[in-house]
């Protein structure tokens, strides 16, 4: 396997995949029957999930604009998902056309679609990599081609850390990535939570998928920002992070926290 390739047998269509469930919920076409069934079960269990994923995408766009406005010219997006327009590089380029973006995901199907759609210039690249192996992600040749770790980086961990169990040490993973970033870098993170409703049924949908859903409370999500300084308004439900329009109806129910933080030292 190379960073741009995979074996056809690596695409598992026997189980729902987080990337394809999410694509279905966003109204995308890159999903299979099992993913759509899981998506429908999620909506039954957590009716606000469709507005929640849209709000998460809108948070992503606002946060990317914020970090690029703050001077970031290179972005490492881990858990990038199936291409969804506007993608991170399109959003970043609206602010500054010279931003480089390295996309990383551990799902071979994401890698394939992303390679086809996102590697449109030397400034954007895609790597197959697993967040649970942060050192390998940092050493990936495509990541290294695009990201100079001596210059500030925008690290995106958007709606991905909740696929790591506590045993997989998500805090340790974030710390390894943080320690590779110079001062002036940013962490943009969003994470699913059960703080606003009992979401155990939604969680159960993922027990049949290729990754489990690990909902975490505010205090635990906030700890992922150790070593960074959260910018205003801190860690909040995604629709309330620097909204640029009236938050959608039902925003108080949305089970995604989002925050942006700066590494000052």
The mark string for 23-52 relative to ligand SAM (x by CB under 6 A, - otherwise) is ------------------------------
Helix axes 108-118, 18-25, angle to 10 degrees: 60
In the three-class reduction of DSSP (H, G, I as helix; E, B as strand; rest coil), residue 58 is classed as: helix
Q: Give Cα separations from 74 to 14, 41, 150 (angstroms).
A: 36, 37, 11
Q: Which of 31, 106, 124, 214 binds ligand SAM (CB under 6 A)?
A: 106
The long-range contacts involving 68-72, CB below 8 angstroms and separated by at least 24 positions, are 68/92, 68/95, 68/96, 68/99, 68/154, 69/95, 70/186, 70/262, 71/152, 71/184, 72/99, 72/152, 72/153, 72/154, 72/185, 72/186
Which residue in the block uniquely carries the two structure tokens 């269509």? 13
Q: Which of 16, 22, 38, 87 binds ligand SAM (CB under 6 A)?
A: 22
Q: Which of 51, 76, 153, 160 binds ligand SAM (CB under 6 A)?
A: 160
Q: Does 105 bind ligand SAM (CB under 6 A)?
A: yes
Smallest distance, ligand SAM to C-beta of residue 174, A: 13
Q: Does 19 bind ligand SAM (CB under 6 A)?
A: yes
Of 131 and 153, which CB lies nearer to ligand SAM in the complex structure? 131
Candidates 1-9, 15-23, 30-38, 236-244 — which segment interacts with ligand SAM by CB under 6 A?
A: 15-23
* Pairing status of strand 154-158 against strand 229-230: unpaired
Which residues, 6 or more positions from 100, have their beta carbon under 8 angstroms from its beta carbon?
73, 74, 75, 123, 124, 146, 147
Of 60 and 155, which CB lies nearer to ligand SAM in the complex structure? 60
Q: Does 130 bind ligand SAM (CB under 6 A)?
A: yes
- H or E stretch at 103: strand 100-105
Q: Does 131 bind ligand SAM (CB under 6 A)?
A: yes
Q: Which residue is nearest to ligand SAM (CB)?
A: 81
Which residues, 6 or more positions from 154, have their beta carbon under 8 angstroms from its beta carbon?
64, 67, 68, 72, 74, 75, 76, 185, 186, 188
Q: Which of 24, 66, 163, 257 binds ligand SAM (CB under 6 A)?
A: 163
| 8 Å CB contact between 15 and 209 | yes
Q: Does 211 bind ligand SAM (CB under 6 A)?
A: yes
Q: Which of 3, 16, 18, 30 binds ligand SAM (CB under 6 A)?
A: 18
The mark string for 72-101 relative to ligand SAM (x by CB under 6 A, - otherwise) is ------xxxx--------------------
Of 136 and 201, which CB lies nearer to ligand SAM in the complex structure? 136
**Residues at the site binding ligand SAM, with contacts judged by CB under 6 A:** 18-19, 22, 56-57, 60, 78-81, 105-107, 110, 130-132, 158-160, 163, 211
């Amino acid at each position: 396997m190379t960073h741009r390739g995979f074996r056809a047998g690596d695409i598992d269509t026997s189980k729902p995949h987080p990337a394809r469930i999410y694509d279905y919920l966003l109204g995308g076409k890159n999903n299979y029957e099992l993913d759509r069934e899981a998506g429908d079960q999620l909506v039954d269990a957590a009716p606000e999930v469709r507005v929640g994923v849209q709000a998460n995408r809108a948070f992503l766009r606002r946060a990317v604009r914020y970090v690029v406005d703050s001077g970031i010219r290179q972005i490492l997006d881990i858990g990038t998902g199936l291409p969804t327009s506007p993608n991170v590089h399109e959003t970043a380029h609206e602010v500054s056309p010279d931003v480089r973006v390295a996309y990383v995901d551990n799902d071979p199907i994401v890698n394939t679609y992303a390679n086809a759609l996102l590697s449109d210039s030397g400034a954007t690249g895609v790597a197959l990599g697993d967040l649970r192996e942060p050192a390998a992600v940092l050493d990936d040749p495509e990541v290294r081609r695009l990201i100079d770790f001596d210059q500030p980086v925008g690290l995106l961990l958007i709606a991905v850390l909740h696929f790591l169990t506590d045993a997989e040490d998500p805090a340790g993973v974030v710390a390894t990535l943080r320690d590779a970033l110079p001062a002036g870098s940013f962490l943009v993170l969003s994470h699913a939570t059960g703080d606003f409703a009992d979401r155990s049924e939604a969680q159960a949908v993922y027990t049949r998928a290729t990754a489990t859903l690990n909902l975490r409370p505010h205090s635990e999500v906030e700890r992922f920002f150790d070593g960074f300084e959260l910018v205003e308004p801190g860690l909040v439900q995604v629709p309330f992070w620097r909204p640029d329009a009236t938050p959608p109806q039902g925003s108080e129910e949305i089970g995604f926290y989002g925050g942006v933080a700066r590494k000052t030292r």
